[in-house]
Chain A
Amino acid sequence: MSNILALAQKELRAYFVSPMAYALFGFFALLFGWFFVASMNVMLQFSMGQFGQGGPQVVNINEFMIRPLFGNTAVILLMMLPFLTARAYAEEKRSGTIELLLTSPLSDFQIIMGKFLGAMTLYGIMLAITLIHIGILFWYGDPEWGPIVSGYLGLLLMGSSFISVGLAISSMTKNQMVAGLSTFAVLLLFWIINWVGDASGSTTQTVLSYLSILEHFDDFSKGVIDTTHVTYYVSFIAFGLFLTAKSLDTARWNG
């Protein structure tokens, strides 16, 4: 455990010493803030639109604002998280520091978990920034906290899936650009995978829908924690980490 923590700390340091962490946080906050304002405007318009029926109505803030906001956040994450994970292994392989890790008394499991924990911590901080916005909603409005908690749980699970895929892909190349781009392409594919489903029969449709990574998020943002979705994300994460383990091992045999 101490080794995992040591590695996680090392990862975090690398993020914070380089402009990486600040760029991620800054742009994430900017984009999230933008979507926040946009969703608020939509909600206000909708509320004003009720004028005909006797003045502005109180609309459900969870349904009309927080849910679309979480949906948009999922898309921002899909685009930003590949950049967070791209360097994790690729940079170590390029600079040769992977040799230090693999010849130290560390198990592959410790290395993989250390990197995962490091990236997850950074992602956690990223999500924590958005609590400010949600706090504002609580200050001025009266949202239900249930769907918000489940929404954050969903974001956490979905982000972890993105991270585990990103780490797996990063472990397969020496090139950060290739790692980032491939991760983005793979995640995008998992997002739109069910878009071709409609015309190709109901069984295919069901399977593809099940695979779609954003599909599983929807229920979380509605306030429903369904074990199907939790299972999906957890298996996704486990699969990504397993792939990383295999890829490290393969790299070792092939030099």
Chain B
Amino acid sequence: MVEVQHVTKRYGSLTAVDDISFRVERGEILGFLGPNGAGKTTTMRILTGFLPATEGQARIAGFDVFEQPMEAKRRTGYLPETPPLYPEMTVAEYLRFVARINGMPPGDRRTQVGVAMERTKISDMADRYCGKLSKGYRQRVGLAQAILHNPDVLILDEPTAGLDPRQIIETRRLIAELAGDHTVILSTHILPEVSQTCQRVVIINRGRVVAIDTPDNLTARLQGSQTLYLQIDAQGAEALATLEGVDGVASVTCVDEHDGIGGYEIESRQGDDVRRELSRTVVTSGWGLLELRPRQMSLEDIFLQLTTEEAPTEAVHPGMVTPGDEADVTVEDRVDE
């Protein structure tokens, strides 16, 4: 349904997107995961025909977005990062306008607008001015606008950004519902989001694809060495030494010490599950086991791991200007380390 082949986008000497290729099948939800400035928005803008690619090809439902833009655009629904609303229009007027410029016949417009408002649960806001809506509603009107003309492909740029937790859950549910008849590409920088909504994930960093896989496979791959967080009511050198002595433990770092309670990060060797051994040791040492859990992998950890795994020879030169991630502090930090 969507085919991206060797797409590159350069702004002068800056390479925002560097030789990206992937495919999305009909009915699939593809997650685009990456830090800010990784090239997610640029890739989406190329797919929607907003930006032309410097090199490479992108097809939507078989139509090249550059050669046959009208055909491709007719089949695409797009929610940009900021919902493109006209503050002076009411929600219903706005959606009717979008229906009209999408070439919908006059008879269908009213019903389709009604359907889209129903699906995004904004029917009660129909007569409100877009400029007066809350962030959550703006986002939903943006989504209604994207699904309005029943496009084959939905491209959603950070659809849950700025929503409250309840709205996030509702939006995810809606996206999952939509996936049946639409192909969905959504971008996010929130890790749990992809594992909950998407069937496949493209991880992108500095304009390059780092990994394409199902969320489960990715998690499995990333669990090669596991980091555990352990909290016990003991601290000091003795506790540290005892923990290090546990079979299968590679390293122990003390991350937190207060009121006689110690928090430790424990790295295990590849493939070893040390949780049983650890808890036994803690108990036999006479300490209280307060907490033991796998540490949540943050996005940065994943990048760190994937980038070193995929390209072990590619050294990161400190001070080198790397395009595409000016806005991303975490990646910068890592470069400095």
Contact = CB atoms under 8 A, between A and B. Distances in A.
Contacts of A13: 88-89, 93
Contacts, number: 72
Contact of A105 (B82, B86, B87, B101): B101
A3 B169 CA distance: 36
Contact of B98 (A14, A98, A104, A255): A104
A30 interface: no
Given A252-B50, A254-B11, A105 B80 contact: no
A2 interface: yes
Interface in A94-142: 95-107
Contacts of B85: 95, 97
Interface string B12-39: 0000100000000000000000000000
B51 A17 contact: no
Interface stretch (B71-79, B183-191, B291-299, B315-323): B71-79
A99 B80 contact: yes
A7 interface: yes
A196 interface: no
A18 B85 CA distance: 15
Contacts of A97: 84-86
B210 to A, nearest CB: 23
Most buried by B among A18, A95, A254: A95
Contact of A6 (B73, B76, B88, B97): B97
Given A14-B88, A99-B50, A252-B52, A105 B98 contact: no
Interface string B57-81: 0000000000000100110101011
Contacts of A3: 100-101, 103
Given A6-B100, A13-B89, A104-B73, A99 B84 contact: yes
B51 A100 contact: no
Contacts of B93: 13
A17 B48 contact: no
Contacts of B11: 254-255
A100 B84 contact: yes
B101 A6 contact: yes
B73 A105 contact: yes
7 contacts: A3-B100, A98-B84, A100-B98, A102-B49, A103-B76, A103-B78, A254-B11
Interface residues of B, number: 31
A2 B96 CA distance: 13
B80 A96 contact: yes
Nearest to A110: B101
A104 B51 contact: no
B270 interface: no
B231 interface: no
A14 B86 contact: yes
Secondary structure dominating the interface of A = helix
Contacts of B101: 3, 6-7, 101, 104-106
Interface of B: 11, 16, 42, 45, 48-52, 70, 73-74, 76, 78, 80-82, 84-89, 93, 97-98, 100-103, 145
A2 B104 CA distance: 11
A97 B101 CA distance: 13
A253 interface: yes
Given A103-B78, A252-B50, 20 more contacts: A6-B100, A6-B101, A10-B89, A14-B88, A95-B82, A96-B84, A97-B84, A99-B50, A99-B84, A100-B80, A103-B50, A104-B98, A104-B102, A105-B101, A105-B102, A107-B70, A253-B51, A253-B52, A255-B42, A255-B45
Contact of B88 (A2, A18, A106): A18
Contacts of A10: 86, 89, 97
B262 to A, nearest CB: 50
B63 to A, nearest CB: 11
B82 to A, nearest CB: 5
Interface in A47-90: none
A98 B85 CA distance: 10
Given A6-B97, A10-B97, A102 B86 contact: no
B100 A2 contact: yes
Given A252-B51, A255-B51, A96 B82 contact: yes
Contacts of B102: 104-105
A13 to B, nearest CB: 6
A2 B81 CA distance: 28
Nearest to B83: A96
B88 A105 contact: no
Contacts of B78: 99, 103
A10 B97 CA distance: 8
Nearest to B106: A2
A187 to B, nearest CB: 27
B51 to A, nearest CB: 6
A117 B27 CA distance: 41
Interface in A1-19: 2-3, 6-7, 10, 13-14, 17-18
A252 B11 CA distance: 11
Nearest to A102: B50
